[in-house]
Chains A and B, each alone.
Chain A
Amino acid sequence: MIGLAILLGFNLLGLLLQHVGVPLPANVIGLVLFTVCLFARIVKLEWVEPAADLLLRNMLLFFAPTIVGSIAFASQLRAEWAAAVLGIVGSTIASMIGTGLLARTLIRHDHAGPEREHVDAEGHALEGEA
């Protein structure tokens, strides 16, 4: 329960800061502060990991009601369904492929060859330490 309490605490903190004028959604503010506190060891990983794992594994569930709610706009978009579908599909694909290709190319150029193994080894070492 302590894990959920901590996550909700940061959610509340995010809401509070959004209220005082930070121009980001409460969730995003909370995510940034929570991550910073993990790195600063203010929050220990073992306190939050079980609750975080449970929420993350089932995160798709939490989007379902919002998607179901989109049927309310079906009639409004009927006349413009072509523009809406093209926009949604085109924009998602362009951004996905663009980001993916750029990231793949840049990561290869940054660390080509045997250095990759080195990166993996260090990554695991860091994980163990955490």
Chain B
Amino acid sequence: MNAVTSHPVFGVAVTVIAYAIAGRVQARWRWMPTLVTTCGLLMGLLLVDHISLDDYHRGGDLVTFFLGPATIALGVPLYKQFGRIRRHAAAVGISVLLGSIFSIAAAALAVKIGHGSDIVFRSMLPKGVTTPIAIELSKPLHGVPELSAVFAVLGGLFGSIIGPKLLRLCGIHGDIAIGLAMGTSSHGIGTARVVRDSELQAGASGLAMGLAGIITSVLIALLALILR
């Protein structure tokens, strides 16, 4: 059995199968988020069959690999929708800048309220940005890069689940506003969620994700000087 689970085919196959099942589940029960079902099934499988994460990641990493070309593919909705977004350049800049500041400030405040350790505090600050940037930004803050990656991914997952409903509840309607909110707060995972809803949301979200990444990098570099 070990020879099977440690083969890359295993990780790729179970991930794609779980994702396909999650798609069917979501077609039936609209409220079941695809990613939650996918990851729930996979975690269950690993725990029940005592399969190590190292074995799973031999194939899992191959799936993660496609995040590279998929992120670059976000240029397509961005290009197609740019004419509609460009008119709101000032709104885009201001809302993503302040949204990025809110993300860092709220992370700091919330961890303090929860009596988190210094390590959790420092690792939480860059959690709003896409995972590879969060990992890099954790270093100057003397956080734990792996922990920042976990916070970023879970934040994105949470945002992708509640995002569309929460925004509707707050009366935030326009496609550009929704896209900017999703991309700034939930980076690539939030963007991946709205790609299915609207190309304009996807374009705005992809743009916000990139901008928030750059803005947050600068903010964290400044913050690192204070937090030595």
Contacts and interface: CB of A to CB of B under 8 A. Distances in A.
B118 to A, nearest CB: 11
A64 B39 contact: yes
A36 to B, nearest CB: 9
Given A30-B71, A92-B128, A106-B88, A45 B38 contact: no
Interface size class of A (residues with CB under 8 A): 35 or more
Interface in A36-77: 38-39, 45, 48-49, 51-53, 55-73, 76-77
Interface of B: 11, 15-16, 18-19, 34-35, 38-39, 42-43, 46, 53, 56-57, 60-61, 63-84, 87-88, 90-92, 94-96, 98-100, 102-107, 109-111, 113-117, 120-121, 124, 127-128, 130-133, 136, 146-147, 149-151, 153-160, 162-163, 166-167, 170-174, 176-178, 180-182, 184-186, 188-189, 191-193, 195-196, 202, 206, 208, 210, 213-214, 217
Given A35-B79, A56-B73, A90-B110, A100 B120 contact: no
Interface string A7-41: 11011001000000001111110111011001100
Contacts of B79: 35, 38-39, 45, 130
A117 interface: no
Contacts of B57: 65, 69
